Structure 1
């Protein structure tokens, strides 16, 4: 059987969890949990918006929810397959690509609802353009350095600072807190991920577990922002 056919016939049923390193198994299970929460959260946001007949809200929340679910799906699949396998490398690429989509997807409700003017549209265009460029870059350079990837993600995530005043004005203090808190946790996660590559395998694995936990906390923070505050505009 050719290598291509082996890859084509490889499925989740072929995964032997007893042979998956503990940190990889933790990463898979933790982000499988993220998939479930993302689907539930997206359903809640879209349903509430639909019942309130807020079509724009429903659309942008669907984009946000899809981007969040996609991230956790790709991450789970990447970590569950055996190290060194071709299919793992493919999902590694999709895992990184999905981060660009999540960042842009999270910006979409914030800009479209909180800054529904020319400024909001400009920010959205910039962020989605960066996401597209990032996707193309990762598709070509799969093994780009962790520090480089982390830097790009952090820059994209904090472009919102250029329009922080209208967003702060739109949100009350508590709502703004969840926006900033989520951004800070994502940033810390990016730093942890970038630095983990510099340590030995044992420390690297522990730092990667911390990274996964931070991503879930940050996602939960921004989901609460969407549900409690942005959905009410």
Structure 2
């Protein structure tokens, strides 16, 4: 007998998808009037992709197993895309144009490409492998923290760190299938989805602060001083 899905399976990401659509409409309107920024567009695309595919996959009562498997792979691929879109948006908006930005971009998108190839080519028998890859991808930016601290103020770093912590917590819950508070309504997977939404919100706040600064003609989010910039530039060369 097939196991019954929890009542709220997919609903959390569905709600997040609808909210993201509303924010996207506001962003498009403001960008037409004020200023369009591809960095923020990249972040929004990552959100729409993950929340849209995830809610579709989890809410659909699949009749065709092949189609279900395809959407399951798309769901897993969208996690890699979300991480890269978020990391890319963060460094492109909150760091100046220094060499380290390109290194971070190359690293995060290389991991995403390898992750996509793994999902397409290798059977998803061992869930823990995918969870581990997502976590490695997420923390791949940690070695660059000493650079980020030179340019990003404490409040923005607070959001970055806590967003990462919530993502890791979500990965642990997903991997352990615990806690599973109300299996018929709100199970471990729903806890995982809630944690991912909280994590995404942590990353969204500094990006929206940055865009607010852009459209109002104030700081673009780079909190550096000239001597710090020179020091990092020299270090990168």
Alignment match, 1:131: 112
Count of aligned positions: 210
Moved over 4 A (4+): 43-52
Looking at structure 2, the residues matched to 223 and 209 of structure 1 have their Cα atoms a distance apart, in angstroms, of 21
Task: Measure the CA separation in 1 of the matches of 2:208 and 2:163.
Answer: 14
Aligned-residue CA RMSD in angstroms? Answer: 2.9
Superposed CA offset, 1:26-76 (max 9, x none): 1222111111122233444565566554x5xx1121111101110011111
TM-score, normalization by structure 2 = 0.78
Which protein is richer in helix relative to its size? Answer: 1
Change (3 A) 1:144 1:20: closer
Pick closer, same or farther for the CA change 1:178–1:129 going to 2, 3 Å: same
Asked whether the 8 Å contact 2:177–2:189 carries over to 1, the reply is yes
- 1:1-233 equivalent positions in 2, closer than 5 A: 21-23=4-6, 25-45=7-27, 48=30, 51-53=33-35, 58-82=37-61, 85-86=64-65, 87-115=67-95, 116-196=97-177, 202=183, 206-229=187-210, 232=213, 233=220
Write the distance in 2 (CA, Å) between the matches of 1:42 and 1:108. Answer: 18
C-alpha spacing 1:114/1:166, structure 2 compared with 1 (3 Å): farther
Report the 3-state secondary structure (helix = DSSP H, G, I; strand = E; otherwise coil) of the residue aligned with 2:61.
coil
TM-score, reference length from structure 1: 0.79
The separation in 1 between residues aligned to 2:28 and 2:106, in whole angstroms, is: 23
**More deviation, 186-195/37-46:** 37-46
In structure 1, distance between residues paired with 2:100 and 2:173: 32
- Counterparts in 2 of 1:84 and 1:211: CA distance versus 1, 3 Å: farther
Q: 1:183 to 1:153 in 2, by over 3 A?
A: same
More RCO (CA 8 Å, sep 6+): 2
Q: Distance in 2 between matches of 1:167 and 1:47?
A: 31
